[in-house]
Chains A and B, each alone.
Chain A
Amino acid sequence: MTSKELVIDLLRKQKERESTAGPESIQGRVEEWNHSVESLLSRIREWLRDAEAAGLLTVDMIPVEVREERLGTYQSSGLKLSMPAGVSVRIAPKAREVVGATGRVDFEALPKKAILLRRDGDSWHFAESNPQRGGWSFRDLTEDSFWETLRTLIA
């Protein structure tokens, strides 16, 4: 086979592999990731329910378009929290393919940002910048850590 034929053959096999439905295909990875994000957003909505019912903030689902080198462009969902003082927090997936993790969701309240990483299956952790310790440290996502993160973002 010529080099061209070898490359074409390799590309054909890669395409076949990627088009096969399953957790390893692009489509499978995007679906799995979107499912995980939706489940995360449901948890967050649940934690916010009391504050929302008391009229202290509003929570809206927002469409999010994500672009990734390996997964291409796909549609996902996020949340927009609007506070009485006009501050808003956008919670949205940033990427599925992340170094050292299997997904990243950002909490953005201009100009601040908090980073939530999915690691070890479906377990979520906030990455907290800690320059004194040489970078970032990680904290499990719990209702407490969620509220603390929110406080830091809107303070």
Chain B
Amino acid sequence: MRQSALTIAEDWPRPAKVLEYYQRSIEAIAALRQAAGQLGPVSRFYGMTAVEVDQAIRELVAELEHEVTMMLTASFEAALQVDFYDRVSRKKKDQASRKLRQLAYRPLKGRPRGVRTTRIVVEEILDVWMEQTGRKQLIGNLKQLFQFRHWLAHGRYWVQRSGLSNPDPFDAWSRGKAVFDALPDFDSAMLS
């Protein structure tokens, strides 16, 4: 008997929510920068020169961009996984759905036949989409972003070789959006 592998949460942070967080954070940092001259002795910025404040702000923005890029990419993964789960569950007859079902139910050592894999690695889902849409460049661009995300998420302890030098949230969004636009019947409401 086939069984459901995981339960999709009703709510998960959509890319739009992550971008809203980014915008609000930039606004907050801008307000901090304006107010830096008036901060009292309890502030971490107290006593800093203007150049030091700018350097501290620059570091805050750089970290924020890493953090948002990571969360945005995670949110793209969620959208791809939810879309995958939906296509597998609906048992549609189109070629892409068939291939995704094959991926979900592929035989693995130690797992009874007909039981879905608990979670498919996002790169494998992208491989199916690459084959089905023929959009190698677009999907390759997003896979690069996932490599960069892994580097961020695992603590940046290795030399990063995704090929991306310093993607910011806009770069990340462009890479994700281009792929979602190319997927047939993708529910774009998942992005906002």
Contacts and interface: CB of A to CB of B under 8 A. Distances in A.
Interface of A: 67-69, 86, 98-101, 110-113, 115, 127, 129, 131-136
Interface of B: 15-17, 19-20, 22-23, 26, 29-30, 33, 50, 54, 57-58, 60-61, 138, 141, 163-165, 168, 170-171, 173-175, 177-178, 188, 191-192
A134 B58 contact: no
A150 to B, nearest CB: 15
A111 B27 CA distance: 8
Contacts of A101: 174
A111 B174 contact: no
Contacts of A86: 50
Contacts of B23: 129, 131
Contact of A100 (B22, B33, B164, B178): B178
B61 A110 contact: yes
Contact of A136 (B20, B61, B164, B173): B173
A101 B188 CA distance: 21
- Is chain B's binding surface mostly helix, strand, loop or mixed? helix
Nearest to A70: B163
Given A69-B164, A69-B165, A98-B174, A134 B16 contact: yes
Contact of A110 (B58, B173, B175, B191): B58
A71 B32 CA distance: 37
Shortest 3 CB-CB contacts between residues of A and residues of B: A134-B192, A131-B20, A131-B19
Given A129-B19, A129-B23, A134-B188, A111 B30 contact: yes
A131 B164 CA distance: 24
Contacts of B22: 129
A112 B30 contact: yes
A111 B168 CA distance: 13
Given A69-B165, A112-B26, A129-B23, A99 B16 contact: no
Contacts of B19: 129, 131, 135
Contacts of A112: 26, 30
B170 A111 contact: no
A134 B177 CA distance: 9
